């Protein structure tokens, strides 16, 4: 009976047993040889326990591996370089230079991408003596407007005059700011960021002044209606405004200061010239340089008529003051509407003909179509950029190639004769021509 403690093995029948199968001889690693035998790693055959020679069937030789890279020479490192070796060859360089060439050197653009904007300090130091004097006079203009406002608190007509003086002072300040900005290149020079410079900002400021004078007229209307309602019936006024008659000296002083200030601003400083061009009232065109400007005419006429107030009695004084203030307020609103519509057409990139010739643009297009060398006018656009620049873009087809130059010259002359009558306005005309297909 077998048991773990009494198990015995027989070795007579060449059987295996734990005690008999233990071989104390140390065997060396063997490698295969090409002749079908095995041999040890050192190339020599070893004898097995039975006395036979073991041959190596493969002719492998061991090599020693070192983890460090310091022992590798530069020539070996170049030979073992990773990546595409053809790229570093001279053949590749010669072929790639002919295929991939560097981009050609481009000439710089004549129109810059943008121009530096001046700071307030730079604008202040760029002012000349004339601009400084004009700015100081604008401050005096504001002071006169404030004096007229507070000295004539009981008169609606003097309140309306103070609003006109305030508008003139603000317009004069805008004119000085425009002249100061003209000292810098960014104001008139075109760039990609500002194709027409910054002169369109002058148009935007003028549009703001138009809205301002219109609202000042509405303010005078509201005060007049309020005073009229307070005088109805026998109740007491709930307003803090004083309805006492203004002193004669205050009226005379305010009127004379307004006249002198307006004349100096119009004659010496030439303010509101661009606003006068934008309004372009044909009725006032022949009244001279000063009176043809609606802003100056309105201020001077109001200041002159106020000198009549001291000669009126109390009853006529109130009636004249109320009616005259309503008249001035209505003219202020009319001036604001006319100026605003004219400047809005510039802001909307359109062209508005003068009141004398409303069909000027239509007549120009009809004159171009009547030319024998023009087959068809495909596109015609006329628009005013700012106070001093108008543009005309035309696209048409000509009947012959020889007529293109003549037609282009005739179109330019026709536009400048019919539409270029406004002083100080330059026309830029672009004519795109193509031959008419048979």
- Does 416 reside within a domain? yes
Q: What is the CATH number of the domain that holds 377?
A: 3.30.70.1350
The pLDDT value recorded for residue 95 is: 60
From residue 183, how far is each of 117, 119, 126, 128, 132 by CA, in Å? 12, 12, 7, 10, 13
The whole-number pLDDT of residue 83 equals 53
> Which long-range contacts (C-beta less than 8 Å, at least 24 apart) are formed by 280-284?
280/342, 280/354, 280/355, 280/422, 281/338, 281/355, 282/354, 282/355, 282/356
Supply the pLDDT for residue 9. Answer: 45
Residues 330 and 389 in one domain: no
Same structural domain, 366 and 343: no
Do 263 and 343 belong to one domain?
A: yes
Is residue 161 a part of any domain in this protein? yes
Report the SS3 class of residue 138.
helix
| Of 128, 132, 111, residue with least CA distance to 185 | 111
Q: Is residue 28 part of a domain?
A: no
Torsion over CA: 263, 268, 271, 276 (sign)? positive
Task: Among 296, 326, 347, give the residue marking a domain's end.
Answer: 347
Q: Tell whether 218 and 314 lie within a shared domain.
A: yes
Cα torsion angle, 134, 138, 139, 140, sign: positive
365 inside domain: yes
Same domain? For 218 and 129 the reply is yes
Rounded mean pLDDT for each run of 10 residues along the chain, 438 residues in total: 45 44 45 49 46 61 63 55 53 60 76 87 92 92 93 86 93 92 90 88 93 94 84 54 68 91 84 73 70 86 89 84 92 93 90 73 87 84 88 85 80 84 78 78
Do 283 and 429 lie in a common domain?
no
**Can you give the residue range of the structural domain that contains 367?**
360-435
User: Does a structural domain hold residue 38?
Assistant: no
Number of domains in the chain: 2
pTM: 0.69
Give a yes or no: residue 93 inside a domain. no
* Model pLDDT, residue 26: 44
In a domain, 63, yes or no: no
The domain boundary residue, chosen from 347, 377, 406: 347
Residue 304 is part of a domain; what is its CATH number? 1.20.1510
Do residues 282 and 195 both lie within one domain?
yes
Give the per-residue pLDDT at 318.
84
Q: 216 φ, ψ to 5°?
A: -65, -35
CA-wise closest residue to 334 among 290, 292, 279, 283: 279
Identify the pLDDT of residue 261. Answer: 92
- Residues 281 and 428 occupy one common structural domain: no
Residues 334 and 382 in one domain: no
In a shared domain, residues 313 and 374: no
Q: Final residue of a domain: which of 347, 369, 403?
A: 347
Q: Are residues 366 and 336 in the same domain?
A: no
Whether the Cβ atoms of residue 224 and residue 329 lie closer than 8 Å to each other: yes
Closest CA to 299 of 262, 251, 325, 267: 262
- 171 and 257 housed in the same domain: yes
pLDDT value of position 407: 85
For residue 60, the model assigns a pLDDT of: 66
- Is 316 domain-assigned? yes
């Amino acid at each position: 009976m077998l048991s773990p403690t009494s198990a015995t093995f027989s070795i007579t029948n060449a059987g295996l047993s734990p005690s008999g199968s233990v071989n104390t001889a140390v065997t060396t690693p063997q490698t295969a040889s090409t002749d079908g035998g095995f041999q040890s790693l050192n190339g020599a055959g070893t004898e097995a326990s039975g006395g036979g020679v073991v041959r190596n069937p493969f002719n492998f030789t061991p090599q020693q591996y070192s983890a460090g890279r310091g022992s590798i020479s530069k020539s070996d490192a170049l030979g073992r370089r990773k990546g595409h070796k053809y790229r570093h060859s001279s053949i590749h360089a010669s072929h790639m230079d002919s295929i991939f060439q560097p981009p050609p050197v481009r000439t710089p653009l004549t129109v810059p991408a943008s121009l530096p904007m001046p700071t307030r300090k730079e604008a202040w130091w760029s002012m000349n003596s004339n601009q400084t004097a004009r700015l100081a006079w604008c401050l005096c203009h504001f002071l006169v407007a404030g004096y007229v406002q507070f000295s004539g608190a009981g008169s609606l007509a003097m309140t309306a005059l103070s609003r006109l003086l305030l508008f003139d002072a603000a317009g004069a300040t805008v004119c000085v700011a425009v002249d100061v900005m003209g000292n810098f290149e960014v104001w008139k020079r075109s760039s990609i960021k500002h194709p027409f410079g910054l002169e369109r900002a002058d148009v935007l400021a003028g549009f703001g002044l138009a809205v301002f004078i219109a609202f000042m007229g509405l303010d005078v209307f509201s005060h007049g209606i309020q005073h009229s309602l307070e005088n109805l019936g026998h109740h007491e006024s709930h307003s803090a405004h004083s309805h006492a008659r203004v002193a004669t000296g205050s009226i005379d002083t305010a009127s004379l200061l307004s006249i002198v200030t307006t004349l100096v601003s119009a004659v010496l400083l030439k303010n509101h010239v661009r606003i006068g061009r934008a309004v372009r009232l044909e009725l006032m065109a022949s009244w001279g340089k000063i009176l043809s400007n609606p802003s100056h005419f309105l201020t001077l006429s109001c200041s002159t008529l106020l000198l009549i107030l001291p000669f009126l009695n109390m009853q006529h004084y109130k009636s004249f003051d109320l009616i005259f203030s309503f008249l001035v307020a209505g003219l202020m609103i009319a001036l604001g509407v006319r100026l605003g519509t004219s400047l809005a057409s510039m802001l909307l990139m359109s062209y508005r003909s003068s009141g004398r010739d409303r069909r000027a643009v239509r007549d120009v297009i009809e004159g171009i179509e009547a030319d024998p060398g023009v087959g068809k006018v495909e596109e015609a656009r006329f628009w005013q950029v700012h106070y001093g620049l108008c543009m005309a873009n035309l696209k048409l087809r000509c009947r012959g190639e020889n007529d293109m130059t003549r037609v282009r010259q005739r179109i330019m002359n026709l536009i400048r004769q019919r539409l270029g009558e406004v002083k100080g306005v330059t026309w830029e005309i672009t004519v795109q021509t193509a031959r008419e297909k048979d």
